[in-house]
Amino acid sequence: MNYSYKVSCCKDELQGVRDFVRETLRNYTISDVEMHQLVLAVDEICSNLMIHSHQCNSRHSIELKIKIGEDRGITFEIHDSGKKGFNFDQYKEPCIKQIIKDRRKGGVGLLLVRRIMDHIDHDFHPKSKRNIYRLYKELAVQPTHRA
């Protein structure tokens, strides 16, 4: 099944993103812990795009797509036209001890995303000038009820 949700790049819209992910996943056999982890991962990527790529400009938008396959698990795709795409392959995990020592706020979101998800990638499409971020989670999921 495929689901889609488009939202403006305003931090106030993040609750709607979290609700969309949660409500979509409630239709499938996913544990509460897994659901909360997936919501956290998607929220982190969306908030980073809104803040860093779009400077919270509500005239800009991102689109979240969720693809659920009973045998393939879950794919979250976040589409945006932000100026700079983030290359996950170049990401270096921060030293948690140093973050704690410095009492620094933030800086661990992508670390959490990488630990929650099984695979993460990014594509830039020059013709459309769009970024696509994909978060994969391998889970055997079944609909909670058949339509």
Structure confidence by residue, pLDDT tens digits, 54-92 = 999 999 999 999 999 866 799 999 999 876 666 566 656
CATH of domain 2-137: 3.30.565.10
Say if residues 20 and 5 touch (Cβ distance below 8 Å): yes
Say if residues 76 and 62 touch (Cβ distance below 8 Å): no
Judged by DSSP in three states, 101 sits in helix
CA-closest candidate to residue 69, choices 3, 18, 115, 121:
3
CA separation for the pair 119, 134 (Å, rounded): 8
CA separation for the pair 95, 74 (Å, rounded): 30
Q: How is the chain split into domains, by residue range?
A: 2-137
Say if residues 130 and 81 touch (Cβ distance below 8 Å): yes
Structure confidence by residue, pLDDT tens digits, 87-116 = 566 656 656 666 556 666 655 567 789 889
pTM of the model: 0.84
